[in-house]
A and B are shown apart, each in its own frame.
Chain A
Amino acid sequence: MQRRFFSFSMALLALSGVLSALGASAQQQVTLRVMTHNSFSLPKETLAQFEKKAGVKLQIVKGGSAGEMLNKLILTRNQPIADVVYGIDNTLLPRAQAAGIIDPYLGPAARRKAAAPMDDKADANGVSAGVVPVNYGYVTFNIDKAWFARQGLSLPASLQDLTRPAYNRLVVVQHPATSSAGQAFLLATISGLGEDAAFDWWARMRANGVKVAQGWSDAYYKDFSKNGGTRPIVVSYATSPAAEVFYSKEKIHTPPTANLFLTGAVFRQVEGVALLKGADPTAREAAMAFIEFMRSPAVQHDLQTSMWMYPAEAQAKRVDALQQHAQEPATFNSLPGTALHANARRWLHRWNTVVLK
């Protein structure tokens, strides 16, 4: 029995060894490891085209939310687990920069002007700390038009309106620690109202029954009244109404939801792509090609309907869906990078205390 047990495990080990050897030998070409967050999505054909053109095999590693992904990169910076990263946004850039994991990119894409700069310290082309902007979006309120029509309630005109009893238990937001949309919204309120007034607003919202969901999907697909939940006001993206039209089963021409641009409640999120320090040198050329690829017309077109973001390339054409149903807000909030970096944890802590405890 003991002999059989040992020989069985030895056989298993040998088999696995052979399998991995076979697998390793099969991959003679370079593998480009791309680290992204879970929301990354591009059509398979577009990615396949890149693989063919650059002659590499793409290995897309989804590392969780953008914050988790960045943390993983920082923790493993001595032996990076990827060669190029997509998904570092303007709120995470200070952390990435401080950790020193970015290898600045100076190629053609960095020398073209972007429609949205990475942050306030970006150069004329929008590149900051070597991270090249790829797309941007706006975190803002979405409302369920049908619900409001049914209830006959007028739409709130400002953040302060939402604390009135008329809007009791109508809002769902996301937790800023686990959702980038939630964090963006929190930053918008702080930027729009000033820190103390913002937290005062949050305290009143707590009293007014605001619901906190773990992530955007929970909030949008479970709690939003359009999808069977109880809250008709949800923190989402400016492009979500356009997505509703795009994905609707019946052909509709007006979205069932709408953006609600309130002062102090619109945050611009700019996402970028960057090379990683200490990455595999044999993949460096492919990594640089990847950055160019992300700013290429094909991707700038595809990401509008696969990730529902606006393209950063200044000359990129907007697809119909976005043009018709996803107007960009006139104003938005943002915060200087240094303020973000110094206070992010403290604000999160304070938010936890004010809203949850």
Chain B
Amino acid sequence: MHKMRRASGCWSILFLRRWAPYMLALAPLLFVVVMLVAPTLRLVWEGIWGQDLAMGLSEEAGTGPAGNAWSIVLDPDLRWRMGWSLMQATATCLLALVLGVPLAWVLARWQFTGRELVLRLLMLPFVVPTLVAALGVLALWGPRGWLGAPLAAAGFELEETPWMLLYGNLFFNLCLLVRAGVQALEQVSSTRLAAARTLGATAWRAFWRIEWPVMVPWLASSLCLVFLYCFSGFGLALVLGGQRYATVEVEIYRLVAHELALAQASRLALWTMGLNTLAALAYAWVEQRLASPAHVTPLPRRQVTSLTQRCVLATVLLVLFMVSGAPLLAIVLRALLALANTNSMALLLNEETLSALQNTLVFSTLALCFSSLLGVLHALALHASEIAGWRKVAARTASFLPFAVSPVMMAFGLLLLYPQWSASLPVLLGAYALLAYPFVATALTAALDQLPASYTQAAATLGARPWRVFWRVTLPLISPALRRGASFAAATALGEFAVSLFLSRPEWTTLTTLIHQHLGRPGASHLDAAMLLSALLMLLTLGCFILIETHDRSVS
């Protein structure tokens, strides 16, 4: 009897152990289904069968799904919008490639003082909120900008041109490409290069035949990401695109917020989602073909000595600074000026700003906690389930789903699906968490993969139950990755804009929506107020960046 009870107790334990991965995955999965999959499906439905009632576009009434989907292609405005969105994304890719490859080569091959710092700072644009970046470009090149004002006086108005948007795109994406390039170049085997040189290849030929082929897959993968970010970008295009050069996402927002043309917006969203998915699949495919980092002896870096080298270095660093550093500096300078200006200070020292600051902090913290929890569960579930092969890849790609469905479309889908909750706090926070948690999940998944299985096995044989193993061994060892992922998540939540615009109520104005409000009101003081708030937001995200980049020495 005693033996039987013992056995059944063991059975339940083993049963639990077997199904633990699925139980762990339940919460994140449910969350993703409710907050992402369902709204996306609803959006798709609306795009195919929706009709704009009571809005007066009589020629659209009565067309079926095919007609609806095709109406986007037929409408010249929307065709232009779609075409321009693709064009600006492609143009950014090309510009990033042309500027980024030389930059990457210099950073990878030459040694100079401050090289480490530059490499670290390459990550900075990634955490800067899109609205801050947009204001940075405005502060630098806008009609009242540090460089833009003299240009405007000379007759070159940059305001209704596509260049500001492309500049803003480059701000974020150049660094991405440079990082990929540097990582790629470190994979080039020095022995192979030496062999090529001894066989008679010049430096240039050696580059083309040995280094470039190694770089291509890395660059291709990051170009896919660049394309995705540019095509589905919202904040930048809203502020810098103007009437003519805004992207599809902005058009969707305008159709919903200004014209209430939900059905037409859904149709547009459908097309955009399709293109996004193609880009995401291309990215996943290229990532697959990327060779896992082999242990090659990298080429040793050469110290910069000659004058030509110094000049080239200076140019390259200048370009990097102008693209990714100057806008931030411009905001800071403008903000400092604005501090001295009583008008803008008067605009800011009120309840509205304080409440926006409070909202931003509270929402971000809540979203951070929630997304950390989800990320931990997701990573643990993925790790514990011993799926392999294509299923594993699929599960990993799935954690990037929020990127394929852009924030604007997710918010729009939520609006369509849960109209009675469209302006409710849980949905808003849920959307924040959904956008932030992939960072935690992917960081933790990578860390768990690297954790030797023997550690947890040793802990188990030493008498620790699974929860204790997690608490005493796994968690401390993955906590650097958790911190890293959480800092990215925090930066994402702090800078979140699109969802707040769609789903928020006036009493939940955050810093980002407040900045947007100030931008919408005419007058220099409002612009200055927006700059000040951007500087504040930038400081907060800088804090996150510092948390990401400080190395934890206690764990090797």
Contact = CB atoms under 8 A, between A and B. Distances in A.
**Do A and B touch, yes or no (CB under 8 Å, in the complex)?**
yes
Interface of A: 1-2, 5, 9, 12-13, 16-17, 19-20, 33, 38, 59, 61-64, 67-68, 71-72, 74-76, 78-79, 81-82, 95, 98, 175, 177-178, 214-215, 217-218, 221, 341-346, 348-349, 352-353, 356-357
A161 B525 CA distance: 39
A94 B522 CA distance: 29
A344 B258 contact: no
Given A16-B358, A177-B259, A178-B258, A64 B56 contact: no
A38 B521 contact: yes
B505 to A, nearest CB: 5
Nearest to B76: A357
A1 B476 CA distance: 10
Interface of A is mostly: helix
Interface stretch (B82-90, B268-276, B419-427): B419-427
Interface string B412-438: 000100011111100000000000000
B362 A16 contact: yes
Interface of B is mostly: helix
Nearest to B421: A79
Nearest to A340: B56
A177 B258 contact: yes
Contact of A352 (B58, B77, B505): B77
Most buried by B among A20, A59, A345: A345
B79 to A, nearest CB: 11
Contacts of A17: 362
A293 B533 CA distance: 35
A2 B479 contact: yes
A16 B260 contact: no
Interface string B153-193: 00000000000000000000000000000000000000000
4 interchain residue pairs of minimum CB distance: A217-B522, A2-B479, A61-B506, A78-B420
A189 B166 CA distance: 38
26 contacts: A2-B476, A9-B365, A12-B365, A16-B358, A16-B361, A19-B358, A20-B358, A38-B520, A38-B521, A61-B506, A62-B517, A71-B259, A75-B256, A75-B419, A76-B505, A78-B422, A81-B506, A81-B507, A177-B259, A178-B258, A218-B522, A342-B56, A344-B55, A346-B56, A349-B77, A357-B76
B506 A214 contact: no
A345 B258 contact: no
A79 B423 contact: yes
A73 B365 CA distance: 29
Nearest to A222: B522
A74 B260 CA distance: 9
A12 B260 CA distance: 38
Contacts of B520: 38, 64
Contacts of B507: 59, 81
Contacts of A59: 507
A63 B509 CA distance: 12
Contacts of B258: 67-68, 71, 177-178
Contacts of B521: 38
Given A76-B422, A357-B76, A345 B55 contact: yes
Interface of B: 52, 54-58, 76-77, 80, 243, 254, 256-261, 358, 361-362, 365-366, 368-369, 415, 419-424, 476, 479, 482-483, 486, 505-507, 517, 520-523, 547, 552, 554
A61 B507 CA distance: 9
Nearest to A61: B506
Contacts of A78: 419-420, 422
A57 to B, nearest CB: 11
Contacts of A67: 258
Contacts of A221: 522
A235 B361 CA distance: 43
Contact of A346 (B58, B476, B552): B58
Contact of A63 (B54, B368, B419, B506): B506
B56 A175 contact: no
Nearest to A97: B54
Contacts of B54: 95, 98, 341
Contacts of A177: 254, 258-259
A9 B487 CA distance: 12
Contact of A71 (B260, B476, B479): B260
Given A76-B422, A344-B55, 5 more contacts: A16-B365, A59-B507, A342-B56, A345-B52, A345-B259
A357 B56 contact: no
Contacts of B254: 177
B522 A76 contact: no
Contact of A1 (B260, B423, B552): B552
Nearest to A349: B57
A5 B522 contact: no
Nearest to A80: B423
Contacts of A12: 361, 365
A76 B423 contact: yes
A349 B76 CA distance: 11
Contacts of A63: 506
Contacts of A72: 257
B423 A13 contact: no
A1 B483 contact: yes
